[in-house]
Amino acid sequence: MHLLTEGAITFEVDGSFYNPRMRLNRDIGVAMARALRLVQYVDALSASGIRGLRAAKEANVQEVTLNDVSPRACELIRRNSARNGLACEVTCSNANVLLHERHFQAVDLDPFGSPSPYLSSASRSARSYLFVTATDTAPLCGAHLCSGVRKYMARPLRTDYHREMGARILLGLAARELARLDKAMQPMLTHVTDHYVRTYLRVVEGAKAADKCLEKLGYVEHCQGCGSFVLLFEPRPEGTCCHCHGKTTLAGPLWLGKIQEADVICRALENLDSSARARRLLEMCAAEVDVPMYYDHHSICERLNITPGRIDDVVEALCKSGYKSSRTHFCGLGIKTSAPLKVVEDATRGA
């Protein structure tokens, strides 16, 4: 039998699914579980159980439930739990059945592809927290329009900021699913890494809170000609770009509210075991300004036909001019700013 180690867990995989490239995702999951002092947690789609076993052992979560629809995976999870001296509950249900029947403090969805088929039951089940991974970045980020509309009831658009577009389309669906149940969400940490979106949501009960949450849904009106975009809270028919007067296209509905909570991310950082990449990622997320989407430094330089200068100089110049601006974890060349494209172009020329 072939044994693997991840974090404090030694486990077998035995034909079930295990993706070592998701380790960073799980490392951050452990840090968040510690920061939030979770006491009850379910991984509704567990495979080998590694995610929940790490939560139990490394974050000391007292009640961990590991669920998988596959009886073979459940046998494996039982063995992995026992091997690590843990007494996790193992259930062999369809995730939707389990989540409709029971409530958990924290619900984690980490499926193959889209979490959309499980978001309704997970929203019902989650008392305080909902954590979601989506690996279907093509429909989320605008490469597959029809499946984006089917899975997320939103129109995605391929843009320079497609990674953040994907995250906000997923968040938009989560906000609507929770609102149907008189619940609101507060995103604490959202990151797009490799080819997946991951978000950690606090769930708050109440019709008023849900109404307020829905007010943060909106649209992006994007110009493919010059890359300029504006945020809208009401959709309108195809408009005209205020920068180049070209035709614009609408994406959404999507979440335009906050996606990072620096306090929580800093607590996660304090609770993160040595992982330089995860640390860098969390530091960048915590430092991002609360401004949806970003401009791509190289795209701007290309359109202006100039050699790119230092991106940090552009960000600094924008800050000095009084605009909220920062770099972003979504893209090494991204500039988040409250400044209009015209001002960003001037700052880019000056850099």
Question: Which one, 246 or 340, has the nearer CB to Zn ion?
Answer: 246
Q: Considering CB distances under 5 to 8 angstroms, the limit depending on partner class, which of Zn ion, ligand SAM, none binds residue 91?
A: none
CA atoms in the 13 A half-sphere facing the CB of 47: 18
Nearer to ligand SAM, 23 or 202 (CB): 23
Residues that bind ligand SAM (CB under 6 A): 16-18, 22, 26, 43, 45-48, 50-51, 67-70, 73, 94-95, 110-112
- In whole angstroms, the minimum distance from the beta carbon of 19 to ligand SAM comes to 6
Q: Which does 326 bind (CB under 5 to 8 A by kind): Zn ion, ligand SAM, none?
A: none
Place of tokens 């600094």: 316
Q: What secondary structure letter does DSSP report for 230? A: E
Sign of dihedral through CA atoms 114, 115, 118, 123? negative
* Shortest Cβ 332–ligand SAM spacing (Å): 26
Shortest CA distance to 267 belongs to which of 170, 167, 200?
200
Measured distance CA(18)–CA(98) in Å, rounded: 22
Number of H helices, E strands in the chain: 14, 15
- Report helix, strand or coil for 44: coil
Residue 69 beta carbon to ligand SAM: minimum distance, rounded to whole angstroms: 4
Rounded least distance, CB 78 to ligand SAM, Å: 14
Distance CA 122, CA 127 (A): 10
The listed partner (Zn ion, ligand SAM, none) that binds 246, CB under 5 to 8 Å by sort, is: Zn ion
* Residue 70 contacts which entry, ligand SAM, Zn ion, none (Cβ below 5-8 A, type-dependent): ligand SAM
Token reading at 34: 């510690």
In the complex, the residues that contact Zn ion under the rule CB under 5 A are 223, 225-226, 228, 241, 243-244, 246
By a kind-dependent CB cut-off of 5 to 8 A, residue 226 interacts, out of Zn ion, ligand SAM, none, with: Zn ion
